[in-house]
Amino acid sequence: MNLPNKITILRVCMIPFFLIFMLIPSIPYNQYIAAVIFVIAALSDAVDGHIARKHNLITNFGKFMDPLADKLLVSAALICFVELRLIPAWIIIIIISREFIISGFRLVASDNGVVIAASYWGKFKTVAQMIMSVLLIVNFDGILFNTAEQILIYASLILTIVSLIDYLWKNRKVLNEGSK
């Protein structure tokens, strides 16, 4: 197993530790430890991708597991936010549903020999979600932080919807070919 794949597996293995620190408030400094774990896991995605591309270590396992690891990490954080009453469930349902739709869409495209690259809207969505997640994990109190959190929650929601529409519109031919 190559290094990028080991980093991807490490990211998946970090999720239970993230959950423990996120959901057990009796652990001292739990939210800060959870934030550090989340940031390291999120940054490991860029690291494994960079190493894989730079050293031509791209594998089928990596193509499958890397996006799955990202979705697991982000979904775990989002579900924690519902549990902790930081974000309404309906927002999280929309965000996670988008991930399922895009994953299914990419599977149909792949079956038709089409590779769908990430769009700028998807990248903006991811950045907004990551910053939002870190702020919600540490959950600082104060009007500035609370306002920033609310702006990022709704920015993430809007970017989720816009990126979904963008993916579907730009690649609508894939759906037409997949229905034949």
116 with 108: CB under 8 angstroms?
Answer: no
Q: 109-140, pLDDT tens digit by residue?
A: 878 777 777 789 988 999 999 999 999 999 99
Please tell me the pTM assigned to this model.
Answer: 0.89
Low-confidence ranges of the chain (pLDDT < 70): 177-180
| Domain range summary for the chain, segments of one domain joined by + | 1-85, 86-180
